[in-house]
Structure 1
Amino acid sequence: MAEFWRQKHWIFRGLFVAVALVLLFLRLLPLGSAPGALPGPDLLVSVILAWIVRRPDFLPMPLILMVILAEDLILMRPPGLWTAIVILATEFLRGRIALTRELSFVVEWLLVSGVMLGMMLVYRLILGLALVPQAPFGFAIVQVLWSIAVYPVVVALSRLALDLRKPATGEVDDFGRRL
């Protein structure tokens, strides 16, 4: 049984990398990239935050770091800035897993929404301090609002398709450790 538990971790980690690669590939496709078009949601961040709140043990920090850093390099963003912000946000949520386990979904959604807004504001503030040209503020807000709106869909798909759920209070793994 212990081997299955370890295998489940690796299956979800491999699935996360596959999902990240598919989302990155779709983001690179020239679909709907007309000038002035509204930006879509950042699905990868929504997936990461949903999985961190549900099962933080399935996404270790080095895996998130490698995926987001690769995304930074491929999308030609300042290397490491968005990566550092995502890592800080996920570790913030990971440190509050005992709290989020007890929260209703609406409160969890508000918490994740605040984290997403904070991530965007910190990213834009640092780029502004470095005098790096940025997209207009309205586009960034629209992208964050789309990401917030898509979060419940990501959670529902993760729950229905992958059976990714929050551990119950007092639930233990096969090694007897609390989840």
Structure 2
Amino acid sequence: MVDFWRSEHLVFRGLFVVIALVLLFLRLLPLGSAPGALPGPDLLLCMIMAWIVRRPDFLPMPLILVVILAEDLILMRPPGLWTAIVIIATEFLRSRIALTRELSFLVEWLLIAGVMLGMMLAYRLVLGIAFVPQPPFGFAIVQVLWSIAVYPVVVALSRLALDLRKPATGEVDSLGRRL
């Protein structure tokens, strides 16, 4: 419980919420909304994945849940479906943090790409089973491919601007606890 209130954690959690709100605001702006335009990447998902792989303690599950659920409600998606899929994916990655710490970036990128594709397919499968209208498959796959392509840029920006990196094996924090 004490870890939740550490100042470094609070700074990154607050920064995550601010960045998420800015990304959501930019997504709501009517920029480039011409019919037939290609969809952009899901930058918030890329940021969540990058931060979970690097420092899962900075993004607790309830914080991700609140941010993605708010995004669901504001973007008028089926409430909770995308949230549940994102939570399952992030907890899948969180449970494999010891493995991802040892992976090269290329293998990590392939893992994230597989997770993102799986998330999109699960979302479309549930919407299809419920007979909910959804955007064409090509639209969804282009958005996922854009997100996969932008993931290295998000990782680089997180590393350069925020010094967010994977902890080395055996690295400890200022209190001597393993990271």
What TM-score, normalized to structure 1?
0.97
CA separation in 2, counterparts of 1:16 and 1:168?
A: 23
Post-superposition CA distance 1:11-36 (Å, at most 9, x none): 00000000000000000000000111
> What residue ranges of structure 2 are gaps of 5+ in the alignment?
none
What TM-score, normalized to structure 2?
0.97
Letter in 1 for 2:13: R
**Corresponding residue for residue 123 of structure 2:** 123
CA separation in 2, counterparts of 1:159 and 1:174?
A: 20
Q: Give the CA deviation at 1:172.
A: 1.3
Tell me, yes or no, if structure 1 residue 98 matches structure 2 residue 106.
no
**Corresponding residue for residue 69 of structure 1:** 69
What pairs with 1:22-171 in structure 2 (closer than 5 Å)? 22-171=22-171
Post-superposition CA distance 1:97-127 (Å, at most 9, x none): 0000000000000000000000000000000
CA separation in 1, counterparts of 2:94 and 2:136?
A: 31
Q: Which SS does the other structure have where 2:113 is aligned?
A: helix
Q: Which SS does the other structure have where 2:10 is aligned?
A: helix
CA separation in 1, counterparts of 2:112 and 2:80?
A: 22
CA separation in 1, counterparts of 2:120 and 2:74?
A: 19
Displaced runs of 4 or more, over 6 A? none
**Percentage of matched positions with identical amino acids:** 86
**Corresponding residue for residue 20 of structure 1:** 20
CA separation in 2, counterparts of 1:66 and 1:134?
A: 24
> What residue ranges of structure 1 are gaps of 5+ in the alignment?
none
